Amino acid sequence: MTDFEGLLKSLADGGVNFILIDGVAATVHGGARLTEDVDVVYQRSEENIKRLAKAVIRLNPYLRGAPAGLPFQWDKETIERGLNFTLSTNLGSLDLLGKIIDGGCYDDLLPHTFELELFSIRCRCLNLQQLIHVKRAAGRPKDLEAIAELEALQDETDSLHDRERTRNYD
């Protein structure tokens, strides 16, 4: 089973700049669907790539779904040569994305995030509106039900805020 807490702590303890997206972000916003992995967008700066290489090497990463025995080496050079990595690790599945469709890279997404505390670590999560936007842009049929749930969450959150505003006026 994916150790969500362990994966997030490994990244945060390693000082990696990342943004939670996809299933875990949906859960943060109140989604009820199960997710199997942790997906993050990481910053592509030289320093952050160094930190990412160091933080993830301890988790014994390997390319998820790839045949065993490939000469895969997780280091700064590999990250620089690639962009998006879907990894299996000692703590479960971890997707490290340098860029996402219609969302761009870490710095593009940053204004659409908020900070939160999870398991005593501070991390950033994509806001609900942008999460819907990038999931729609990805255009994957398997996401349609997840998008429907996110949009329902948006309605519910808006209704909650409306009710709070009304109470404050009364």
Partner 1 sequence: MPTTPPIKPDPVIEAYQKDIERTLLRENLKLSPEERIRKLIELKRFAIELRRAGRTAKAHR
Q: Is 145 in the site for partner 1 (CB under 8 A)?
A: yes
Selected range binding partner 1 among 42-50, 67-75, 81-89, 144-152, rule: CB under 8 A:
144-152
Q: Label each residue of 41-105 as H, E or C.
A: EECCCHHHHHHHHHHHHCCCCEECCCCCCCCCCCCHHHHHHCCCEEEEECCEEEEEECCECCCEC
Taking the least distance from each CB to partner 1, the nearer of 77 and 102 is 102
Cβ(12)–Cβ(116) below 8 Å: no
Residue 149 touches partner 1, criterion: CB under 8 A: yes
- Residue 111 tokens read as 């204004």
Burial category of 5 from C-beta neighbours within 10 Å (exposed 0-12, middle 13-18, buried 19 and up): middle
Half-sphere exposure of 98 toward its Cβ, with a 13 Å CA cutoff? 14
Residues 46-85 that bind partner 1 (CB under 8 A): none
Q: How far is the CB of 125 from partner 1 (least distance, A)?
A: 8
Asked if 119 touches partner 1 (CB under 8 A), the answer is yes
10 is a site residue for partner 1 (CB under 8 A): no
| C-beta of 22 vs 53, nearer to partner 1 | 22
How far, in Å, CA of 12 to CA of 20, rounded?
Answer: 12
Min CB(7)–partner 1 separation in Å: 11
Residues in the site for partner 1, rule: CB under 8 A? 1-2, 4-5, 24, 27-28, 30-32, 34-35, 111-112, 116-119, 125, 127, 129-130, 132-133, 136, 144-145, 147-149, 151-154, 156-157, 160
